[in-house]
Amino acid sequence: MNFTPPRFLLPALLSLGLLACGGEAEAPAPKAARPALTVTLASPQTVEWTQQLAATGSVFAWQEAVIGAEIANYRIAEVRVQVGEHVRKGQVLARIDDSTVASELAEATAAVNELAAGLAEAQANAERARALQAQGFYSKQMNTQYQTAEQGAGARLAAARAREQAARLRMARTAVLAPDEGVISARNATVGSLTQPGQELFRLIRGGRLEWRAEVPSAELGHLRAGLPASLTGPGGERAEGRIRAVAPSVDTQTRNGLVYVDLPTSTALRAGMFARGEFQLGTTPARVIPQSALVLREGFAYVFLIDAEMRVAMTKVGVGRRQGDRVEIVDGLPADARVVASGAGFLADGDLVSVVTEAAK
C-alpha cells in the first residue's frame, strides 16, 4: 500500500532526508540593503558675490524751505499754487492785498518830489549867495545860512528817498515768491487771512530732492563712504537706487547707530516720511556657495549631508554666510572637494544609504 504525504510536510521531510544522508541545508543569502532615498548631488562653487550691508531708515526732504510773508498784518488776496506742484525759482506763490502799500508808496513818492523841488530852490539860493558875497553884498554869515539850508534840503530829500525805497520794497513783498525750484510740500496760506510775523505760508522741498537717512551700527560705519550705491525698498514695494552723499561724523549715544545720508533720484516713487529698507553695495568678494536646498536647520544649527564612496551620508555642521537667490554661502565646515546632497536632505538621517541620480535623469 503506497502512502503519499501531504504537501505541507514535503519541505520538512526533505530536510530530514538531507540530514539523514549527512548533508546540510544551505542558509538563505542575506538581502542587500535598500537605499533610503534617491538624491542629487552638488559641489561647492566659488563665485564673486556683491557684499551688502542691510540698513533701515526713513525718507526725508533733502532741504525743506519754510516760506512766509515778509510783511505783517496785510490780507492775502490770492493763492496760486497747491500742494504737490512743481514751482520754479521766483514764481509767485501768493499775492497780498497791496492797496495800503500802494498808497504808502504814492505818499512817499510825493514827498520825494516835494523835497526835490525844495532842494533845487535851496541850491539856487546858495549859489546866488555865494555870488553876491563875492561882490560884497552878503556877509559871510548870511552866505553860511544859505549853504546850510542847501545841505538840510539835501538831507531831507535823501531821507524821503529812503522812505520811498522802503515803500517800494513793501510793494514788492506783496508777492510771495518761491526762493528756489522745488515741490510744494505744505500750504497754510488762505485767501482772506492776515499775515502774521513768522507765519508759515508754504513749505518747499528744494529741487524736489529726497534723501534716505539710514541708521547703521557704529561698527559698520567704517565700511561706508560717499559715492557707494544703495538699493531701497519702500513699504509698498517701491524700489529706488541712490548713492551715499555723506556719513555722519558722530553716532547716537543711546542706540549706537550713525546716520548715512543717501541721495535719491527725483523720479523715485518714494515719498518724504516713508520708512524704507535698503542695502549698501560694498563691492564684490569671493564666496563658496551651495544650493540652499542642501542646507538643513536642526536645533538652531545649519547642517549639510556629505556622501562617501559607499553612498552613505554623514551629517556635517557648517557655518552660513550670505544668501542670494537660491544659493547660500558656506564660511566653514565644508571641505573643498565635498559632495553635498542637494535635494531631499530634509528627509535623511546620519548614516543613511542613498542612491544618486543626475538632474537630467530625474
> Among 142, 168, 194, where does a domain finish?
168
Query: What pLDDT is attached to residue 5?
Result: 54
Q: Are residues 81 and 197 in the same domain?
A: yes
For residue 183, how many C-alpha atoms fall within 13 Å in the half-sphere facing its CB? 14
Structural domain contains residue 349: yes
Query: What pLDDT is attached to residue 68?
Result: 93
Query: What pLDDT is attached to residue 25?
Result: 46
Q: Are residues 276 and 179 in the same domain?
A: no
CB 69 within 8 A of CB 96: yes
> Among 283, 300, 332, where does a domain finish?
283
pLDDT in tens, 283-330: 888 888 999 888 999 888 999 999 888 888 889 999 998 888 889 998
Query: What pLDDT is attached to residue 311?
Result: 86
Q: How many domains does the chain have?
A: 4
Count CB neighbours of 314 within 10 A. 13
Q: Are residues 295 and 308 in the same domain?
A: yes
Q: Are residues 67 and 200 in the same domain?
A: yes
Structural domain contains residue 337: yes
Q: Are residues 228 and 128 in the same domain?
A: no
CB 183 within 8 A of CB 93: no
Query: What pLDDT is attached to residue 277?
Result: 93
Strand partners, 39: 356
Strand partners, 73: none
CB 33 within 8 A of CB 353: yes
Q: What is the CATH number of the domain that holds 342?
A: 2.40.420.20
Structural domain contains residue 20: no
Query: What pLDDT is attached to residue 1?
Result: 45
Query: What pLDDT is attached to residue 22?
Result: 47
Structural domain contains residue 362: no
CA distance 35 to 302: 24
Q: Are residues 202 and 85 in the same domain?
A: yes
Q: What is the CATH number of the domain that holds 109?
A: 1.10.287
Q: Are residues 227 and 260 in the same domain?
A: yes
CA distance 282 to 162: 61
pLDDT in tens, 157-191: 899 999 999 999 999 999 999 999 999 999 999 99
Structural domain contains residue 145: yes
CA distances from 132 to 143, 186, 203 (A): 9, 71, 67
Q: Are residues 200 and 211 in the same domain?
A: no
> Among 120, 138, 168, where does a domain finish?
168
Q: Are residues 124 and 149 in the same domain?
A: yes
The residue assigned the cell 530634509 is 346
CA distance 105 to 163: 8
Return contacts of 318-322, CB within 8 angstroms, 24+ apart: 320/295, 321/287, 322/49, 322/51, 322/52, 322/287
For residue 137, how many C-alpha atoms fall within 13 Å in the half-sphere facing its CB? 6
What phi, psi does 42 have (nearest 5°)?
-145, 150
DSSP string, 72-95: -S-BEEEE---TT-EE-TT-EEEE
- The three-class DSSP label of residue 233 is strand
Strand partners, 285: 49
Structural domain contains residue 8: no
Using only C-alpha atoms, the chain has a radius of gyration, in whole angstroms, of: 47
CA distance 173 to 100: 13
* Residue 278 lies in domain: 54-62+207-283
Query: What pLDDT is attached to residue 258?
Result: 94
Q: What is the CATH number of the domain that holds 251?
A: 2.40.30.170
Q: Are residues 84 and 192 in the same domain?
A: yes
317: part of which helix (H) or strand (E)?
A: strand 313-324
Amino acid at 179: P
∠ CA 171-176-182 to the nearest 5 degrees? 150
Strands 37-42, 354-356: pairing is: parallel
Q: Are residues 343 and 307 in the same domain?
A: yes
Q: Are residues 263 and 297 in the same domain?
A: no
Residues 6+ apart with CB under 8 A from 28: none
Q: Give the three cell numbers for residue 123.
A: 541850491
Q: Show the low-confidence residues of the chain (pLDDT under 70).
A: 1-33, 36, 136-138, 359-362
CA distance 281 to 227: 10
Residues 6+ apart with CB under 8 A from 150: 119, 122, 123, 125, 126
Structural domain contains residue 129: yes
Query: What pLDDT is attached to residue 26?
Result: 53
CA distance 290 to 288: 7
CB 348 within 8 A of CB 309: no
Structural domain contains residue 73: yes
- The three-class DSSP label of residue 348 is coil
Q: Give the three cell numbers for residue 308.
A: 562617501
Query: What pLDDT is attached to residue 137?
Result: 67
- The three-class DSSP label of residue 165 is helix
